[in-house]
Every structure is written in C-alpha cells, then in structure tokens.
Amino acid sequence: MGIFEAILLTVITAATPLVLAALGELVTERSGVLNLGVEGMMVMGAACAFIATQQTGSPYIGILAGIASGAVFSLLFGFLTLTLVANQVATGLALTILGLGVSGMIGEAYVGQSGIKLPQIVFPILSDIPFIGPLLFRQDLIFYLSIALVIGVQWFLFRSRAGLKLRSVGDSHSSAHALGINVIRTRYLAVMFGGGCAGLAGAQLSLVYTPQWVENMSAGRGWIALALVVFASWRPWRVVIGGYLFGAVSISQLYAQAFGVGIPSQFLSALPYLATIVVLILISHNRRMTLINTPASLGKPFVPDR
C-alpha cells in the first residue's frame, strides 16, 4: 500500500462523519429549518451507539441506536421550533448544551471501555482492483451508507415529487401551504432525517473512527458539518467535495508534520479552515446561482393561518 493510498484511507475515515452530518443538516435546511444543534445530536449518537454496542455486543444494533437517538433528540428541537415556533438559532445551541450534558451523564460508566469496531464488508473481486479496491470496497457499513445517502438525497431532492415539495417548503412556506403541502409535517420529517444522520455520524465516531466513548468526543465536528452545508451551497454532491477537502487538508498537515516540514503546527492546523473559506469565495462569486440554491425561508418560523 502506497503512502498516497494510506493518506486517502485516513481521509475517508475522517471525512465520513462530516459528510453524514452535513448531508442530514442539508435536508433539514432545505426544508427551511436551521438546526445549529448538530454537535449535540452527533455526540448523543456517539454515546448511544457505543452504549448499545457494549450492551448487545453488536455494532449493527449500535448503528441503529445511534440513528434513533439522533432522530429522537432532534424531535425535541422540532417540537420547540416547529410546534411552539421558538427561535431556531437559540434552540439549536441549547440542544448542543443539552446533548453534551446528557451524553456525558449516560456515558459516564462507559469511559475507558474498549469498544467493538464495526467490521469491514469486503466486496469480492471489486476489492482486488488496485488502488480503488481497498479505498472503496474494503470499508465498513457506515461508509457505504454515506455514499448511498448522498446519491439518495441528490435523487430525492431533485428527482422526486416529495423532494420537490420539501424544497418548496423551504423556499416559500406560505406558497407551499397554499398549495396544500403540510409544511409542519414536512419540516418535522426533515428535522428527524437531519437528527438521524447526525446520530449516524456520531455512531461512526464511536464505532469506526475510534471505537471508544469519551465525553465530548465529537470535538467540534458538528460545527464543521454546519459550515459544510453552507460551503456546499445546499447541494449534496458538494457536501462530499467539501467534507473530503476539509478532511484531506486536515489529515495532510499531520502527515506533513511526520514527514518533517518546519512550519509551525498552528499554521498547518489553520489550513483546513482557510481553505474552506477560499474555495467558498471562488464558488460563490455568482450571486444568482447562490440565491437559487439558498432556501429562502431558512430559519423563518411558520404558523399556518386558520
């Protein structure tokens, strides 16, 4: 295995949780809801996935628990912001505080336990292709799910009727309502999808990335995911590009250090953030394109008139 391939493998592991969480948030935001609680849902997913795995011995049940906990936790956000029309930004931040607290509390007994790593699923023949094989066909279930979800979300948003409805809810909830679309239900489902994806991303952290539980183990990745949605200008395939770009820059700085370049590590660590800004500047010079893709009702509450 060459060094380039090795780096890419590390990048894939680092980027997958970012892609997953960002993809979920993308769908949520496309429906017009801004949920800043990604970090909280992610860390809940990580805790619940780990606990379930330790209890049952099956990381697959852990995955389910991660998804379920993220989705259930996001319902709390949904109830406040959709049913009670509370402010989305503040509620999302409060969700993060709560998630860090609850996950710390329920996970306390599991700190220091060595987890079970999600096994690889090897595709015969395909995995023997040089270079591509080990990268793409010798991975775990969550990686495959992340790819499937990107394709699925892309198809859903732009090729399916339900996706069209979801986007119309996000672009103008009053027109959507006038057309007979149930705005609140659509948004609830979108919020739960976002929560489920963040939970799955969390499960990746505690089952694949580092099979263990420690408090606050998401370490700010939820925030990066939020930024990636903006970076991607709300388009799924750009989330993949953004996630892998971010992962690649942050991983290569570690490799560069090991290789022995004499640049202060703080500057190297700042690179992924700067790179993200620079690329976003380059792709967002076209004001009209940006506007088309930005959900116009993002963050605005909706109360149907009766």
- CB 20, CB 218: distance < 8 Å: no
Q: By C-beta, is 117 or 138 nearer to other proteins? A: 117
Cα distance between residue 21 and residue 14, in whole Å: 12
Site for other proteins, residues 198 to 217, rule: CB under 8 A: 205, 209-212, 214-217
Q: Assess 86 for contact with other proteins (CB under 8 A).
A: yes
Residue-level length of the chain: 306
| Cβ contact 198:187 at 8 Å | no
Residue 211 is given by DSSP the state S
Place of tokens 């780096």: 7
Task: Figure out which of the listed residues 58, 85, 155, 175 binds other proteins, where binding follows CB under 8 A.
Answer: 85
Task: CB nearer to other proteins: give 148 or 286.
Answer: 286
CB of 79 to other proteins, least distance (A): 7
**Residue holding tokens 């700067």?**
274
- Is residue 306 close enough to count as binding other proteins by CB under 8 A? yes
Task: Take residue 205 and report the two structure tokens written for it.
Answer: 């952290």
Q: Which is nearer to other proteins, 95 or 149 (CB)?
A: 95
* Sequence letter at residue 275: A
157's CB contacts (< 8 A; 6+ apart) are: 27, 30, 163, 166, 167, 236
Based on the shown chain and the rule CB under 8 A, indicate whether residue 300 belongs to the binding site for other proteins. Answer: no
Comparison of 125 and 259: residue with beta carbon closer to other proteins:
259
User: Which amino acid belongs to residue 154?
Assistant: Q
Question: Cβ closer to other proteins: 102 or 136?
Answer: 102
Binding string, residues 266-285; x marks residues near other proteins by CB under 8 A = xx-xx--xx-xx--xx--xx
8 A C-beta contact, residue 33 and residue 183: no
Total chain residues near other proteins (CB under 8 A): 86
Cβ 96 to other proteins shortest distance, Å:
9
Q: Which amino acid is at 300?
A: K
- Site residues (CB under 8 A) for other proteins, limited to 109-128: 111-114, 117
**Residues in region 137-196 near other proteins by CB under 8 A:** 182, 184-189
C-beta of residue 131 within 8 angstroms of C-beta of residue 121: no
Asked if 184 and 176 touch (Cβ cutoff 8 Å), the reply is: no
- Beta-carbon contacts of 27 under 8 Å, excluding residues fewer than 6 positions away, are 153, 157, 166, 190, 193, 194, 197
User: Residues 218 to 257: which contact other proteins by CB under 8 A?
Assistant: 219, 221, 223, 226-227, 230-231, 250-251, 254-255, 257
CA dihedral 215, 27, 193, 93 (to 10 degrees): 40
> Interface mask (CB under 8 A) for other proteins, residues 49-78, using x and -?
---------------------------x--
Cα torsion through 235, 239, 241, 242, rounded to 10: 120
Q: Which residue of 19, 27, 43, 80 would you call a contact of other proteins, by CB under 8 A?
A: 80
- Span from 5-13, 136-144, 155-163, 165-173 in contact with other proteins (CB under 8 A): 5-13
Interactions with other proteins, residue window 87-106 (CB under 8 A) = 87, 89-91, 93-95, 97-102, 104-105
Find where tokens 């690889």 sit. Answer: 120
CB of 136 to other proteins, least distance (A): 18
